Structure 1
Amino acid sequence: MKKEKLSCEQARKISIVKALEFLGHLPTRNTEKEAWFLSPLRSETQASFKVSKSLNCWYDHGLGKGGNCIDLVCELQNITIREALAILAQVNTGNFALPKAQQAKVKESGIVIRQVKPIQHPALLAYLKSRKINPVVAQGFCQEVHYTIKEKYGFSIGLKNNSEGWELRNKYFKASSSPKDLRWITNGTQNLIVIEGMFDLLSLVTRFPNLIREADFLILNSIAFAEKTLPYFDTYTTVELYLDQDKAGRKTNSFFLNTTATCIDKSSFYKAEKDLNAWLMKTH
C-alpha cells in the first residue's frame, strides 16, 4: 500500500491533541475549547502546556514558545519537517504503526557537553529526592552533565547512550544531546529488562536493588527505537517488559509480545499509574 504523503497545509490541520495521543501524551484537563498537558518538551509536575482546539495551536508557558502541529512534532522528536510529516501521515490515516527508527533520525541538538562528573549538585540531588530516587542508584548509572545551548549554560542528570549522546533531565529541562540512541547495560545475565527512559530505570532499581546483579537493562530512550532493539533480545532467555502505561507504551508492549516469544509483560503491579516513576512516587 502506498503511504500517504501530506502537504504542510494538510498536516497543520491535524488535531494536536490527536497527534499528542499518538505520541503517548494524554491531557490532564480536557474541555471543549482547550486541553492542558504536562509539557512533553520538559519535566514538570503541573500542567502548563496548553492546546487551543479552536486555533489548533499549542503554547508551552514554561518555555514561552508555541506553534502548530508540525512545529510540535519537530521539537518533540528532534526531527526534520519531512520526517514530521511522515509521522503525522500515520496520525491522519489512523494507522498507528510504530514509528520507524529512521523517522527518529536526530538533527543536531545544539547541546554542547562541557563537563561530566559524579552527581553532586544540591539542585540535582533535591530533584532526585522529589522523584523518590535513591541518589546512590542514580550515581551508579548517571552523571552530572554540564552543557551549553546557544551560549546558555545548564546542568542536568545525564544517562549516556550507546552512541555517546546523552539523555538530560533536571526539574525544568528534558532533552537529548546528539546522537540519540538506546542504552544497553550488561551485567552478564540471561535476563534482559526493557524500559522506556532514564527515570524508569532509576525507579525500578530504587525499589528492587537486587536487579543490578540479576538482569541486564535496555533503555529505549524513544519508542521509535523499538525495532532496533529486537536483535538484542536474541541473546537472552527471558526479556521482561516494564513499559509505560500510556497508549504508545501499550502499543510498543504489544509489538514486543507479538514479535518475540521470550518477552514477558511485567507491568501488572503499576497498571494504575502512567509509568514506573509515578508508581514509585505513590508507593515509596
Structure 2
Amino acid sequence: MKKERTKGLSCERARAFPIERALAKLGHFPTRINEKEAWFLSPFRSETQASFKVSKKLNRWYDHGAGKGGNVIDLICQITKSTVKEALKVIEDEQMAFSFHQLPVHEKEENDERIAVGEIKPLTHFALKAYLKSRKISIPTARDIIKEVHYRFKGKTYFAVGLKNVSGGWELRNKYVKNSSSPKDITHIKNGNEKLIITEGMFDLLSLLENDTNLAIEYDFLVLNSTAFIQKAMKTISDYVNIDLYLDNDGNGRRTAQKLLEQSKNCKDKSVLYKGFKDMNEWLIDNQKDSNGQAIQDVSLS
C-alpha cells in the first residue's frame, strides 16, 4: 500500500495528534472524562446527552448516534468540511504552536491540563507590545479590543494578548502560542450599530481597525474564533441590516463565507480587499510598507 504523503506533515504522523486537542481547537470540550476515554456532545448535531466517545489509548472517535467513527483527520475534515490537505495544515499549525512552549503533544488526561486564567490587565508587557508591532498593530488600536492575560498551564505561568468571548473564555496569542481557554465561543462586540463585521480571528479584526480607525462608529463586530461556530453566528446576524464578511482566503474560509451568504441576503463578501493574501493581517503587513519601509495611506473598506 502506498504511503500517504503531502507537503509538510504526513498523514501517518498527523493521525497521532490527540483527538481531544483537535476537538478543543474546534470549540468542543468533554462532558465527562477518565483515564481511558472522553465523552463529548456530538459536534455533528444538537444533543443533550453525550454520545460521542474518544478512546485515548487508540486515539479514535466513535459517534454512537450516527454509528460512525474514525481518526483525527477524518474528524477535522467532517467538522470543518475541509480537504485532507487543509486538515493536515490545522494539525501542523497546532503542533507548531505548542512546540515553542516545549510541551508534549498528547491528550488531556486531568482537569489541571486546562488553562487557568489569572491576572487580566491593560497591555503593558514590552514583549506583547513588540509582538503586536510585528503584526503591524498599534497599541492604541489593540487597547480597545484586547487585554494582557496571565495564565497557568500544567504548572507553568505564561502571558499573552487575549480576546474575551461571550462565554467568558479567552483567545490567547503571543509570539509563540496560539491557544484558548475554556469555554470557547464567539466574541461579539456591540457598539449599538445596525451594521456588522465578521472575522475569523482577533488579528483580522485588529487589522481592519488599524486600517480604518472609524469602523466602530458604524459597525458592531463578531469574531468567530473558530469556523465551527458558524451556526451561532447565523443566529446573531439576523439582528443586522448589513453584514460584511472578512474571512480567510482558504477553503475553510470560503466555505464559511458561502454559508453565511446563503443564510442572509444582507451579507457581503469583502475578501477581495486582501485578494492574494490568506487573511486581513497578511495583507496589512504587506501593505504597510513601501520601498523605504514606511507606512502607506489607509485603503477604504467601502
User: What TM-score comes out, normalization by structure 1 length?
Assistant: 0.71
Which one has more relative contact order, counting CA pairs under 8 Å at least 6 apart?
Answer: 1
2:121 to 117, 133, 138: 117
- Looking at structure 2, the residues matched to 68 and 178 of structure 1 have their Cα atoms a distance apart, in angstroms, of 20
Is 1:35 matched up with 2:7? yes
1:184 to 188, 208, 220: 188
1:242 to 239, 246, 257: 246
Contact 1:110–1:149 under 8 Å retained in 2: yes
Contact 1:161–1:182 under 8 Å retained in 2: yes
Q: How far does residue 73 in structure 1 lie from its aligned partner after superposition?
A: 2.8
1:136 to 112, 116, 140: 140
RMSD of aligned C-alpha atoms?
2.9
- Looking at structure 1, the residues matched to 77 and 280 of structure 2 have their Cα atoms a distance apart, in angstroms, of 28
Contact 1:90–1:97 under 8 Å retained in 2: no
Structure 1 unmatched runs, 5+: 1-13, 16-32, 37-50, 59-65, 100-106
1:265 to 269, 289, 293: 269
Contact 1:119–1:144 under 8 Å retained in 2: yes
Structure 2 unmatched runs, 5+: 31-37, 39-52, 55-59, 64-68, 82-107, 289-302
| Structure 2 partner of 1:57 | 13
Q: How far does residue 93 in structure 1 lie from its aligned partner after superposition?
A: 10
- Looking at structure 1, the residues matched to 127 and 157 of structure 2 have their Cα atoms a distance apart, in angstroms, of 15
For 1:201-216, list aligned pairs within 5 A: 201-216=205-220
Q: How far does residue 67 in structure 1 lie from its aligned partner after superposition?
A: 2.6
For 1:1-284, list aligned pairs within 5 A: 35-36=7-8, 51-53=9-11, 56-58=12-14, 67-68=16-17, 70=19, 73-74=22-23, 76-77=25-26, 79=29, 82=53, 85=61, 92=74, 98=80, 110-284=114-288
Provide, for residues 81-132 of structure 1, a one-character-per-residue CA deviation record: whole Å limited to 9, x for no partner: 6378469689759986757xxxxxxx96611111000001000000000000
Contact 1:57–1:69 under 8 Å retained in 2: no
Sequence identity percentage: 41
Instruction: Count the aligned residue pairs.
Output: 224
Distance 1:88 1:280, change over 3 A: farther
Q: What SS does structure 2 have at the residue aligned with 1:233? A: helix
Which has more radius of gyration?
Answer: 2
